[in-house]
Structure 1
């Protein structure tokens, strides 16, 4: 990622034409160094542009799109280019969606009703540091994930059952589903969760996922 002293080239990918055009206009208004160089209505169209050599610094991408959604597009893009900043736009801010976005490899996410100041901050942050996340997603840990040479295990001992719980917690399963898979009661799984939150000094399931990714307990898909 570049420090934002030069223009930042941006692609906007969203299947709603009116929203996409409005977002492009907004981007150009909030900072004259932001340059939207192309747009696409779904992930497949965007990846075709990449194949043609049109590579932006940052792509702002809707998560819910037909033909090829944001999750699929992010995974495919990461296979061919790890340097493009991916800022996901979503109407969903539940833990499952956030975990899927993190594991797919996005550099940041915003709710689609974001205000202009936060959009500007997010784009500057991705250009300057390589990531943008709110405190709820433990943004500083994302930087460590993208620089695995900084990761250490810190000597925290985890049992096989705790490791299994962490692995499942990093999936899309609900806690009830995790309990069924582990053949445990929901109350016992809640106990594992509380103990791990305390042991690893995290405050949410997303924080647990971030810890697991940081310390290579699970792999990015």
Structure 2
């Protein structure tokens, strides 16, 4: 019997049930970017549904956040939740409180993962900033995660040197790519600049248009100069 099924953390119990019912071993799950991404999506939904801030939940999230596919899917899941409530300030505040622990864990893990190479090059490393470098494979508008039932978003796929292609999602990527004039095959440095308040026009049910302030993740895309 899995002791996690009796955990004080609802999130840990849900994950234990998922593991019990899933037809793959944990080793195979961990080795699959796709399945780790699905796990990250589920955990983002569950953390919001359960508002679980137990130490057990924090420990489990911290362990899984080391996996890039899980972490990207988890962050995208939170961003999707924010997009759904972005026109209701009270709901955004509630979501801020619910996700506070998880967001801190993401930031701590990313600060640790991304500080090593940047520290070596003498650059400052803000804890939120995340940099991905690689060859530009493709980019463009598409339904989120290329699933037809999801909202339209924007994606950029880069292939880091010696690594597997990575796809990043976010509506803010479109502006970054437009401003950069990058083309397929270019070496690109993509940097997550964090969220900024922006004013968007929202069409109300009665047809009137109002301005609303929402948080949108901003990105910068720059060509990488080849090393001499």
Regarding TM over 0.5, the answer is no
Q: Between the two structures, name the one with larger relative contact order (CA 8 Å, sep ≥ 6).
A: 1
Between Structure 1 and Structure 2, the one with more strand by share is 2
TM-score by length of 1: 0.29
TM-score by length of 2: 0.29
